[in-house]
Amino acid sequence: MAHGLNAEVSFDAPRQAVRVTLAPTPAEVSPLFNAITARQCTRGDYDGRPLSNEDLGLLERVGT
């Protein structure tokens, strides 16, 4: 909705496809939308290791 479009998503079973229908809507920018450009991704495979206590504590502090 941040760009003024609302998405309706449905599954088209006979075609085994996902259908996305866009409809105009008033633009509504949110803090989550603005955070998209600041996100980080390693694009690496998950190695299965648990987070260290230090990393866990950092995440807890950042999330508050």
Mean pLDDT split into 10-residue runs, the chain, 64 residues: 88 94 91 83 82 92 83
**Owner of token pair 């807890």:** 60
Count CB atoms within 10 A of the CB of residue 6. Answer: 12
d(CA 27, CA 38): 21
Domain boundaries, the chain: 1-27
Q: How far is CA 46 from the centre of its chain?
A: 18
Global pTM? 0.43
